[in-house]
Structure formats: structure tokens, C-alpha cells
């Protein structure tokens, strides 16, 4: 402690301001956990689509319905966000982007890239 004993000591997530690198880290975990929960639904749709022509059409219609589109774009965001923040982790493993400025820039790029992916796919598909 030493010279400044009055500094605030609290880890309340609503009080401390997490830097963007911290946000990207916690979001990586959150999206990871959510992706595990989404995976069974993906498996079910994959199985249905591969079962017979009727199943294929059902899945296609489901994905093309407004609700289906919103949900699949949300799922795509989970995948893209986890993909790009994971890529950032792998680059940090080989000591790329370790400096504070680069680390923060990388974190912002992760959010930008995943949002861009969702917008691009939503626009094209």
C-alpha cells in the first residue's frame, strides 16, 4: 500500500471500469459458455437438414423466417466474436500485440470485426 492508503479497494463490477482488453476477455468467456449451450440446437438443425428433403426444407424455412434470421445472426455474432477474440488470444500467445496500445487496439478490432461479419452476412444472405 504505502504512499496512498485512500485508494478505493473494491471489485464490484458495477463500480470499477474495466478496460476494453478486460471486456474482450470476459466476453470471450461469455460467448464460449453460450456457444456450448447453443451447440445442441445447431446439432438438431444439422441432423434435420440431413435427414430427408422435407427436413431440409423445414430447416431452410425456419432459418429464413424473421425469428430464425434474428436468432441465426445472433448465433453468428457469438461465433464471430469468439472466433476473433480467440484469434487475438492466439496472437498474444506468440507475443503479438502485447504492448498496451496494441492490445487495446486489438480488442477494439475484435469487436469491430465480429460486428462487421454479422452485418456483412446479414446483408448478403
Q: Does 46 bind another protein (CB under 8 A)?
A: yes
CA dist 46 and 30 (Å) reads 24
Q: What CA–CA distance (Å, rounded) separates 53 from 104?
A: 48
**Cα–Cα distance, 29 to 22 (Å, whole number):** 11
Task: Please tell me the count of residues contacting another protein according to CB under 8 A.
Answer: 25
Q: Which is nearer to another protein, 93 or 95 (CB)?
A: 93
29 touches another protein (CB under 8 A): yes
- Using CB under 8 A as the binding rule, the residues of this chain from 51 to 110 that contact another protein are 51-53, 55-57, 79, 83, 86-87, 89-90, 93
Q: List the one residue from 7, 40, 95, 100 that touches another protein (CB under 8 A).
A: 40
Compare residues 48 and 102 and give the one whose CB is closer to another protein: 48
Decide if residue 8 touches another protein (CB under 8 A): no
Question: Which window, 9-17, 44-52, 66-74, 104-112, contacts another protein (CB under 8 A)?
Answer: 44-52
Please, what is the Cα angle at 117 between 116 and 121, to 5 degrees?
A: 115
For residues 69 and 64, give the distance between their C-alpha atoms in angstroms, rounded to a whole number. Answer: 6
91 Cβ contact partners less than 8 Å away, ≥ 6 residues apart: 97, 106
Amino acid at each position: 500500500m504505502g504512499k496512498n492508503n485512500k485508494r478505493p479497494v473494491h471489485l464490484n463490477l458495477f463500480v470499477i471500469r474495466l478496460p476494453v482488453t478486460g471486456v474482450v476477455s470476459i466476453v470471450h468467456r461469455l460467448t464460449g459458455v453460450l456457444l456450448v449451450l447453443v451447440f445442441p440446437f445447431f446439432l438438431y438443425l444439422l441432423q434435420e437438414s440431413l435427414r430427408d428433403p422435407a427436413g431440409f426444407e423445414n430447416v431452410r424455412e425456419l432459418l429464413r423466417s424473421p425469428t430464425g434470421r434474428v436468432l441465426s445472426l445472433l448465433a453468428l455474432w457469438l461465433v464471430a466474436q469468439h472466433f476473433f477474440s480467440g484469434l487475438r488470444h492466439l496472437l498474444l500467445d506468440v507475443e503479438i500485440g502485447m504492448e498496451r496500445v496494441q492490445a487495446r487496439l486489438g480488442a477494439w478490432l475484435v469487436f469491430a470485426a465480429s460486428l462487421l461479419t454479422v452485418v456483412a452476412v446479414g446483408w448478403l444472405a
